[in-house]
Amino acid sequence: METERTFDVDTMLGLPRLSGLALSPDGGRLVVSGARPDEEGTKFTAALYEVDLEGNAAPRRLTRSAAGESGAAFLPDGSLLFTSSRPAPDAGPEEEPRKDRAALWQMPAAGGEARLLAGPPGGVDRAAAARESGAVVFAAGSHPETGGWDEDADKEKARKDAGVGAQLFEEYPIRLWDRYLGPRERHLYLAPETGDDPEAAEATDLTPAPGRSLDMASFDLTPDGATVVLSRRREHEDPRDLVFELAVLDVASGGERALTADDAWYTSPACSPDGRSAAVVRAGKSTLEGVADKTLWLVDLGTGEGRDLLPGFDLWPEAPVFSPDGRAVFFTADEGGHAPAFRVELDGGAVTRLTSGGAFTDLCPSPDGAYVYALRATISEPPHPVALESTGPDQEPRPLPGFGAAEPPVRVERVTAEAPDGTPVGSWLVLPEAASAAHPAPLATLIHGGPINSWNGWHWRWNPHVFAGAGWAVLLPDPALSTGYGLDFLQRGWGRWGDVVYGDLMAAVDAAVEREDVDDGRTAALGGSFGGYMANWIAGHTDRFDALVPHASLWSLESFHGTTDLGVWWEREFGDPYKDAARYREHSPHRHVANIRTPMLVIHGELDYRVPIGEALTLWTDLKRHGVEAKFLYYPDENHWIVKPNNARLWYQTVLDFIDHHARDREWQRPELL
C-alpha cells in the first residue's frame, strides 16, 4: 500500500539549505554550503560539501564543526578558503570564544585539517581570491583609530569591561536590516601569504581610514591580484545623495581611484580574465516621475569608460560573471515567474537565454568553457546543483546528485489574470493533490515583499507547500512593481501602491476563486514587509477575506520614513515629506483603520530595522482601539525575517491555526510554547 505523502514545517526545516557554490580552478571540484538546524533547533549550522560532477555519488561532507562553515572559494593551487567561527586548533581555555565572528580558514587541496589564515577580532564577512596569483582580500570590521588587531581587541575589551554599548554617529544611515553600523568600521585586508604560523604575518590593511564607505561594499580581485575593484559608498553631505560608485584600489600602493562620477548605483563587480575590465550591475537614479532602469555595464579599469552590454534588454540583470575566454558574461534576471541564466556576447551583444524554467544563482563557468554549474530552484524544489552547456538556448539543466529533497505532494500551475487596466498579471497557484471541484481548497494569498521582487523560486520563509500540506490552495501573485515583466510593469505601480498594486492583487484573487477547485468562501491573505503593507491596505479596503496576517508590515508611511534604516531612499518614490507628504498619506494604511472588520494576526521582530517595531506597535494599538479582533505574535530575538528553526515552527503553527480558525471554522489552538 502506497504511503500518503505529506509536507509540513518539520519536513521543510529538515531540508538542506544550499548556497555559495564554488568551482575549483581546474574545474574538477564543485563545493557548496549546506545548512541544517542544530540539535536544539535554535539556529542553522552550515557545512561544506563536495558535489560529484559526474553524477555517480552523493555529496561528500568536507567540514565538521559546531560553529559551521560557509563562504567557500578556491585558490589556484586547489586549496579551499572558507569562513567559520570555529576555535583555532591550538586555542587555550583562557582565550575568548569567537562567538559569531568568523575567521578565514584554508583547507589543503588534498584535504586534511584546515588552518587559520586570518582571525580579526571583528570577524571576516567576505573574501575574494585572485584566480592566478592566489592573493586573498577579505572584509573585516575594526574600531576607528586603532593601529591593528591587537589594539582593536583591547578597545573592544575596554568597552565590554566598562559595560559600555553606546555609539556616537556622525553619518547617515546608522543601521541596516538588523544591525547598527558600528562601532567598528569595515576595512579591506590583504591576507598574509601561506605559511605555517598565522601569527607570523598580520594581514595588510588596504583601507586604513574607510569611515562608513565600505559598509555595503562588494568587491572582486583582478586575476593577478594587483587591483581590487569595489562598489563603495561615495562621500556625501545630503543623505539623499547616497550613491555607490565604482572604484579601483591598487594593492601594492594602497592608492584608490574612482571610476564613476554619475548618480547611478554600481554593484556586484566581476573582473575580466585579462584584468583590464569589469562587468558591473548599473542602476539609474529613480525619481518621482518614474523608476530607473538597471543594466550590465562594462567598465575599462584604466580609463573608467563604460558601455551598456544590454541595450534594449527589458529585464534587470544580476550577479555577472565572465566566461573563461573573456568573450561573454553570464548573468541571471527575473523573467515571468522564473529567474533564468543568460549569456551576453561582448562582441555584438547577442543575448542567449540558457534556461527557460526555474530560478538560478551562483553561476560557475567551467575553465574549459563547456559548462556552467549553478544552483537551480523552482516553486516546488529547493536550490540544488545543476550543470548547463555554456551556449545552448533554453536548456533543461542536468541535475547533479543532491541531498534527498522531498517532493511536495502538490500541483503547481501558472495562472494569469487581467488587471483593471487590461495588463496581464501572472501568479503561481499551488494546489493540494486532493483539491477538486468536489473538494475545493480554501485559498491563502501570499503577497511578496520588496516591493520590487518576484515569486520565482523556492521560499523558506513563506513556503507555500507548508500551507498546501495543511489543505490550503496557495496563490503567489506578481502584481505591479514585480520584477521579470519589463520596465513598464514596474512603472505602473511606482508610487501607486494603494491603487494599482492593490488592483492587480484583487484581480489575481478574483481569477483564482473562479476555479472549481478553489473555495471562494474561505480565503486569507498574508504577507511580509511590503506584503505586510498590502495586507494592512487590504484590511481597510475590503472585507472579502476571512483572515489577514501582516508580518513586518508598514502601517504609517510618514512615520516609517523617519525610523526605517534608509528612509531617504523612499523619497525617490514618494517625494520629500517635509515639503509635500501627500503621496505618503494617500497610500498609508493607517488612515483607513476605522474600516477594518477582518480578524488580523500581527507579527513582528524587535530587531527589525528595515521596518521598525514601532510600526507593529502602532498598528496593534490602532486595531485594539477600534475593536478589531486581533492577535500579536512578537519575537524579541528576530529581525525582518524569522531565522531560528524553533521560532519558524511557532510561526507556521500560529499562522495556520489563526487562518484555519477564521476561514475554516476550526477551534483556535494556542501553541503550547506561547
**pLDDT tens-digit readout, 200-246:** 457 999 999 999 999 999 999 999 999 999 999 998 888 888 899 99
Q: Residue 292 contacts by C-beta under 8 Å, 6 or more apart in sequence?
A: 264, 283, 284, 285, 286
CATH code where residue 529 lies? 3.40.50.1820
Is 231 within the bounds of a domain? no
| pLDDT at residue 4, as a whole number | 61
pLDDT confidence tier of residue 480, bands split at 50, 70 and 90: very high
Is 538 within the bounds of a domain? yes
| pLDDT at residue 98, as a whole number | 67
- Average pLDDT of 433-458? 97
User: Comparing 226-230, 427-431, 566-570, which segment has the lowest mean pLDDT?
Assistant: 566-570
| pLDDT at residue 482, as a whole number | 98
Cβ–Cβ under 8 Å, residues 148 and 156:
no
User: Comparing 80-94, 369-383, 617-631, which segment has the lowest mean pLDDT?
Assistant: 80-94
pLDDT confidence tier of residue 92, bands split at 50, 70 and 90: low
Give Cα 348 distance to the centre of its chain: 32
Q: Over the range 90-129, which residues count as b (16 or more CB within 10 Å of their CB) and which as e?
A: eeeeeeeebeebbbbbbbeeeeeebbbbbbbbbbbebbbb
Is 372 within the bounds of a domain? no
Share of the chain above pLDDT 70, in %: 96
Q: Residue 196 contacts by C-beta under 8 Å, 6 or more apart in sequence?
A: none
Residue 577 has pLDDT above 60, yes or no: yes
Q: Give the integer Cα–Cα distance in Å for 149 and 75.
A: 25
Is 177 within the bounds of a domain? no
Q: Which residues partner with 287 through β-bridges? A: 290
Is 432 within the bounds of a domain? yes
- Average pLDDT of 273-302? 96
- Average pLDDT of 482-502? 97
| pLDDT at residue 56, as a whole number | 87
Count of CB atoms situated within 10 Å of the CB of 336: 18
Q: Give the integer Cα–Cα distance in Å for 304 and 297.
A: 11
108 residue type, one letter: P
pLDDT confidence tier of residue 122, bands split at 50, 70 and 90: very high
Is 17 within the bounds of a domain? no
Q: What are phi and psi of 477, to 5 degrees?
A: -85, 150
Q: What are phi and psi of 657, to 5 degrees?
A: -60, -40
| pLDDT at residue 356, as a whole number | 87
| pLDDT at residue 200, as a whole number | 46
311-366 confidence digits (pLDDT tens): 999 999 999 999 999 999 999 999 999 999 999 999 999 999 999 899 999 999 99
pLDDT confidence tier of residue 515, bands split at 50, 70 and 90: very high
Cβ–Cβ under 8 Å, residues 636 and 671:
no
Total number of domains constituting the chain: 1
Cβ–Cβ under 8 Å, residues 553 and 533:
yes
pLDDT confidence tier of residue 522, bands split at 50, 70 and 90: very high
pLDDT confidence tier of residue 404, bands split at 50, 70 and 90: confident
Cell representation of residue 140: 573585516
Cell representation of residue 4: 500518503
- Average pLDDT of 106-115? 91
Residue 455 has pLDDT above 60, yes or no: yes
Burial-class residue 567 by CB neighbours within 10 Å (0-12, 13-18, 19+).
Answer: middle
Cell representation of residue 578: 517635509
| pLDDT at residue 111, as a whole number | 84
3-state helix, strand, coil in the chain (%, to 5): 20, 35, 50
225 residue type, one letter: G
17-69 confidence digits (pLDDT tens): 999 999 999 999 999 999 999 988 889 999 999 999 988 899 999 999 999 99
| pLDDT at residue 1, as a whole number | 37
168-193 confidence digits (pLDDT tens): 999 999 999 999 999 999 999 999 87
The secondary element (H helix, E strand) that includes residue 654 is helix 645-664
Residue 57 falls in which region: left (phi positive, over 0), alpha (psi -120 to 50) or beta: beta
- Average pLDDT of 77-97? 80
Average pLDDT, the chain: 94
The secondary element (H helix, E strand) that includes residue 618 is helix 613-625
| pLDDT at residue 438, as a whole number | 97
CA distances from 565 to 179, 182, 398, 619 (A): 10, 14, 42, 19
Of 473, 444, 449, 470, the residue nearest 459 (C-alpha): 449
The secondary element (H helix, E strand) that includes residue 657 is helix 645-664
629-645 confidence digits (pLDDT tens): 999 999 999 999 999 99
Q: Over the range 237-249, which residues count as b (16 or more CB within 10 Å of their CB) and which as e?
A: eeeeebbbbbbbb
Residue 198 has pLDDT above 80, yes or no: no
User: Domain containing 547: what range?
Assistant: 410-664
Is 430 within the bounds of a domain? yes
Of 413, 342, 425, 404, the residue nearest 379 (C-alpha): 413
Q: Give the integer Cα–Cα distance in Å for 275 and 316.
A: 25
Is 53 within the bounds of a domain? no
Q: Give the integer Cα–Cα distance in Å for 111 and 101.
A: 24
